[in-house]
Amino acid sequence: MLKLNFRNTDSTVIGEENGLNLEEEFNYYSEKISDIIKSINIRRGQDGEGLKWMNLGYNEETVWYVKEFASLVEGRFDNILVLGIGGSALGGIAVTEALLKPYWNFLTPEQRNGLPRIFFLDNIDPDSINGLLDILDLKKTLVNVITKSGDTAETMSQYMIIKNRMEKELGDNYRRNIVATTDKKMGILRQLADQEGYKIFYVPDDVGGRFSVFSSVGIVPFALLGLNIDEIINGIKDMDIELRETDIRQNIAAQSALINYLMDTKKGKCISVMMPYSSRLKYISDWYAQLWAESLGKEFNRNGERVNGGTTPIRALGATDQHSQLQLYNEGPNNKLITFIRVCEFGTELEIPNIFEYTGIGYLGGKTINDLINAEADSTRVTLADNKRPTMTFTIDKIDEYNIAQLLYMFEVQTAIAGELYNIDAYNQPGVEQARNYTYALMGRAGFEGSAESLKEKIVSV
């Protein structure tokens, strides 16, 4: 069960200046939170609300279709290559890094039980694309092109390069090595996939990229890699039932959303640090950073007033960043709310041998690395509280399909509730459109000629 400990955000622990009077705040906000939870649970069934990601745990047809495809291609491919960016990649990266055995791609096929290796191309760095193409045998690779809009320049340029190579290497058979994940009706990839005869998976309507990890966007690669999709679905569904609870005292997503919101608006904590104490959870911070930043960072609220809101997410990793960022967290500006993720039971245990008697390191002998990482998590939490820095801690029992699905779904609901508290639209991203359009102009896309000239001048002068 996922647990939240928010004690170290309370004024009784970290003082009035930086802490919240949670008893009072929970009372004051209880009706508002209850209304928000009721409202999002009604709107999740309505078109155009951007909330249909809340229903992904109940999409049995898609799960069946994806599993059937995975069993059909079982044993055919050595590699899965996902092309996608932003919400089309970050969830897949986060979940596979958490759930696959560490160093998966370095394991032998026997150690991987014959399951494929996994690669995500989520950038357009020519060196890394060329580097990957140098090591991949495309004949043994299944390429999954994921773009909801179907025309994202980064993803479609990768697709064009790889499709061209595959055609040269595989002849007409290349079509059997490509699948597309995109919108049901719209977009260029949808058209291309039809023309080419690719297998297509759909991103459902009203499911934005950053909320799409449990749609086909994520579950296709998860199924191909042998992850337990049923347990993922069970995790989402059970968490969904818990988070329908309208009493803030019983709803951890509402509690963390409200604490984040109040810490920002009342206590000036404008930076939100996500710090899991587990290397396998490292990329959950990347996924979370996008979810939080793109959903909440908005110029206008729903009443059209300029708010320039949102808190800045920072990705950190325990214990590594104790030797990098912790100095700043303890002594720098007190403008951060730090969220830790703790794991009760790691997948393995590692004992530190009792081989030295030096006082400085001898004490480690006979303990486990498991003890050490959790001791470091506790110490960090306590020092931060000593320095009156607010922190919250989520604890998961272990890293498996069920618990990871619960954690991610909870963060999605937390973000949705925070969006309602800020009174902003958490499901659009107007702030990224301008750079997209400028790129189109610079790269000569038809219809953008007008801005191309003035843009060239700006590039020289800015």
Q: Torsion-angle region of residue 15: left (phi > 0), alpha (psi -120 to 50) or beta?
A: left
CA dist., res. 267 & res. 334, Å (int): 9
Smallest distance, ligand PA5 to C-beta of residue 370, A: 35
The candidate with the shortest Cα–Cα distance to 411, out of 397, 426, 425, 428, is: 426
Site string for ligand PA5, 283-322 (x = CB under 6 A): -----------x----------------------------
Give the count of residues interacting with ligand PA5 (CB under 6 A).
14
Strand residue runs (E) in 152-220: 178-183, 199-203
User: What strands lie across the sheet with 391-398, from one edge to the other?
Assistant: 3-5, 391-398, 336-345, 271-276, 312-315
Strand partners, 183: 203
Q: Return the number of the residue (156 or 273) whose C-beta is nearest ligand PA5.
A: 156
Smallest distance, ligand PA5 to C-beta of residue 86, A: 3
Q: Which residue has the tokens 């800045």?
A: 312
Contact yes or no for 292/272 (Cβ under 8 A): yes
Measured at the CA of 187, the angle between CA 186 and CA 190, to 5 degrees, comes to 85
Q: Return the number of the residue (87 or 318) whose C-beta is nearest ligand PA5.
A: 87
CA dist., res. 144 & res. 147, Å (int): 10
Smallest distance, ligand PA5 to C-beta of residue 88, A: 4
Among 59, 141, 152, 158, binds ligand PA5 (CB under 6 A): 152
Smallest distance, ligand PA5 to C-beta of residue 427, A: 8
Q: Return the number of the residue (147 or 403) whose C-beta is nearest ligand PA5.
A: 147
Which residue is closest to ligand PA5 by CB?
209
The candidate with the shortest Cα–Cα distance to 90, out of 146, 165, 11, 31, is: 146
Q: Which stretch binds ligand PA5 (CB under 6 A): 24-32, 202-210, 333-341, 402-410?
A: 202-210
- Of residues 203 through 262, those in contact with ligand PA5 by CB under 6 A are 208-210
Token pair for 209: 């990229």
Among 8, 9, 18, 147, binds ligand PA5 (CB under 6 A): 147
Q: Does 419 bind ligand PA5 (CB under 6 A)?
A: no
CA dist., res. 441 & res. 458, Å (int): 13
CA dist., res. 282 & res. 156, Å (int): 28
The candidate with the shortest Cα–Cα distance to 93, out of 119, 126, 70, 65, is: 119
Q: Does 163 bind ligand PA5 (CB under 6 A)?
A: no
Site string for ligand PA5, 376-415 (x = CB under 6 A): ----------------------------------------
Strand partners, 345: 398
Smallest distance, ligand PA5 to C-beta of residue 154, A: 8
Site string for ligand PA5, 78-97 (x = CB under 6 A): -------xxxx---------
Q: Does 148 bind ligand PA5 (CB under 6 A)?
A: yes
Rule CB under 6 A: which residues touch ligand PA5? 85-88, 147-149, 152, 155, 208-210, 294, 429
